[in-house]
Amino acid sequence: MIPNTIYVGLDIGTTKVCAVVASADPSGRRIDIIGKGLAESEGLKRGVVTNIPKTVDAIKTAVAMAEQQAGVRIKRVLIGIAGDHIQTFTTRAMVSVSSPAHEITETDVTRLLENARLVKIDNDRTILHVIPQDYSIDGQDGITDPVGMSGIRLEADVLVITGSLTAIENMHRCATRAGLEVESVVLQPLASAYAVLDDAERELGVALIDIGGGTTDIAVFKDNIIRFTNIFAIAGNKVTDDIAEVLAIRNIEAERIKVEYGHTIADSIIRDEMFQVPGVGGRRPTEVTKSLLCQIIEPRMEEMFEFALHEVMKSGLAHKLNAGIVITGGCSLLRGADELAQRVFNMPVKIGIPAGFSVNGFAPEVQNPMYATAVGLIHFAVQQMVASHRADATLQQNTTTTDEQESMPVEVQPSNGIKQGLLSKVKTWLDEL
């Protein structure tokens, strides 16, 4: 029996570092969350590492908690990356079909994507992902899965996602100093989509808005393919800064008040209660109502959603999002966030909660938008494993078929002997004449 594989998703965010450990069977059909760890993060700004020692300490704390719960030693992790340094562009790649029978295989698709990675980019950037949008075979467009089809020339429009080489290397450096090996670096909105979106949403068309502490990540899907992504640096920390500024308190207190009493829209306040705001430097505490706090939070959240709407409009697919909008990330937990988003986007909105894993003791704990990226990283790794196994099986099957054909005995046809005998008879008959 093949043992389960352990996967670890490490979300290194602006306000938190989150580690989630999962066990998955070889088929990828069952994923069990077996441990998690959470630590406050102070070493990043807008998704980019600004203090390596603080980031390393946060990673060690989160990983140690996850190891203790899971009962396993964590060595390899997948990490998510975001930040306004992420850029995308579309290019076109082409390969000739390698099979003598002109049947397109997984190998041809892999070569096509490798060719797409050869596109020229600046020296200070590196390619994170190449994602095919539509395939073309011998000039025939609109093909979603070319494997098994016949053709001579395979082409594709490819979405290329790049990031700052320095930012990615610093992420690697932090993980390495924490005693970890980075298996892969994945774009955060892409990872989050694996956790909170289902196939029907991605097929119909949906925009994912992942609101973290330092960045808000946008990903637009249509026909089960990510068509557009972008990241901007207006997120939950801006809300906290506004509260701290207006109420004249420290950010740590502002964050606590935001989480405990914050509302993004007045309609979500059932009872307009008062709460105490601690004084600074020995001053007496003051009392503030939830409605007053809402007046601080609502404008910033509305601005954030308006920025997100602008990005969705840039994708050119706003009119094709039949599944509407999904918001996730820690800031989506603010009361009334989905109602405010629905007012801004004027389309259906729901809060995205990680799913797709087996129910066990830790499942309720990670069914929270703040774990979307970490859980999504695990789903991403499992999907890559399943795809790799499928490609290996196809290659082995093709190799076996070829070997069998080469080893088959060849039946010798007697045609040459018959022709030789007939010529001899004709020659004898002419001699007798």
Tell me the per-residue pLDDT of 78-131, one tens digit each, with 9 for 90 and over. 999 998 899 999 999 999 998 888 899 989 999 999 999 999 999 999 999 999
Could you tell me which residues come within 8 angstroms of residue 419 by beta carbon, excluding any fewer than 6 positions away?
none
- At residue 356, does pLDDT exceed 90? no
Which of 75, 77, 79 has the alpha carbon at shortest distance from 185? 79
pLDDT-based confidence at residue 280 (cuts at 50, 70, 90): confident
pLDDT-based confidence at residue 415 (cuts at 50, 70, 90): very low
Tell me the per-residue pLDDT of 208-224, one tens digit each, with 9 for 90 and over. 999 999 899 999 999 99
Of 31 and 113, the structure prediction assigns the larger pLDDT to 113
- What is the reported pLDDT for 411? 43
Please, where in the chain does CATH 3.30.1490.110 lie?
87-162
pTM summary value: 0.84
What's the rounded Cα separation, in Å, for the pair 318 and 174? 38
Q: Averaged over 16-20, what is the pLDDT? A: 94
Task: Encode 110-122: b = buried (16+ Cβ within 10 Å), e = exposed.
Answer: ebbbebbeeeeee
Q: What percent of the chain has pLDDT over 70?
A: 87
Tell me if residue 52 falls in helix, strand or coil.
Answer: helix
- At residue 286, does pLDDT exceed 80? yes
Q: Averaged over 370-392, what is the pLDDT? A: 82
Q: Which of 165-179, 289-303, 372-386 has the lowest mean pLDDT?
A: 372-386
Tell me the per-residue pLDDT of 382-398, one tens digit each, with 9 for 90 and over. 888 777 656 555 555 55
CATH code given to domain 87-162: 3.30.1490.110
- What is the reported pLDDT for 430? 41
Which of 250, 215, 83 has the alpha carbon at shortest distance from 162? 83
CATH code given to domain 238-296: 3.90.640.10
Which of 13, 10, 129, 59 has the alpha carbon at shortest distance from 378? 10
Please, where in the chain does CATH 3.90.640.10 lie?
238-296
